[in-house]
Structure 1
Amino acid sequence: MKKKRRGFTLIEMAIVLFIISLLILIILPNIGTQRKHANTVNDKALQTQLNTQAELYMDEKNTNTVTIDELKSANYLNNDQYDQIKKKNIEIKLDNGKKE
């Protein structure tokens, strides 16, 4: 008596590969969009943090102006934050619309 070999047929494999390729086509464009969105959110958060640290520095030191380098030297920003701010050319923007 011959044993039947169990396995997938060519049609079944083709259907599975077709479904996988469709899923990849749907997911790949969304990954790029989500990455851009994440970068935008990160930039806004970094801007907010920079503004908050600048306001804290100005309140503590009783001054009207501050630079990013002063915030770094006074340890209001760590090295990673400072590098990201410099790389992305983010400037201090105060609530009253005045730039520093």
Structure 2
Amino acid sequence: MKDDRFALKERCAGFTLIEMAVVMFIISLLILIILPNIGKQRDNARGIGNQALGDVVQTQADLYRNETDKENISLEDLKNSGYLNEKQYSEAKKAKIEVQAENEE
């Protein structure tokens, strides 16, 4: 009798093929649901970041305009005068952000 119990325990110790297939199906379903949302969230975050960078550029342009009384301001002017750092300048160029004139607000 003792030998039969040990044999039964050894057979029940692992997972069946059906159980593994169900687990793999659930994992693949979750991946199919999550992956498209990650792409949308990345695009949404990029848009919000570009909007915030545009606000920073416009604020710095207004400060530069107030200090220099210059009307036509470019991103290069802001970078050369220290109002934008190199990273802000390159990101603004990549996002095609332009400085608005003072009366366009």
Note whether the superposition's TM-score is higher than 0.5: yes
Match of 1:93 among 94, 97, 100: 100
**Overall identity of the aligned pairs, in %:** 49
Structure 1 stretches lacking a partner, 5+ long: none
Answering whether residue 89 of structure 2 is matched by residue 77 of structure 1, we say no
- Counterpart Cα distance in 2 of 1:56 and 1:24: 48
Code of the residue aligned with 2:68 in structure 1: it is K
Q: Note if contact 2:62-2:102 (Cα within 8 Å) is conserved in structure 1.
A: no
C-alpha separation in 2, matches of 1:15 and 1:7: 15
For 1:93 and 1:41, how far apart are their aligned partners in 2?
19
Moved more, 1-10 or 35-44: 1-10
Decide whether aligned partners of structure 1 residues 64 and 21 sit closer, same or farther in structure 2, where only a CA change above 3 A counts. same
| Aligned counterparts of 1:38 and 1:81: Cα–Cα separation in 2 | 17
Gaps of 5+ in 2: none
Counting matched residue pairs gives 98
The structure carrying a bigger helix percent of its residues is 2
- CA RMSD, aligned part only? 1.6
Deviation of residue 48 (structure 1)? 0.7
What's the TM-score once normalised by structure 1's chain length?
A: 0.88
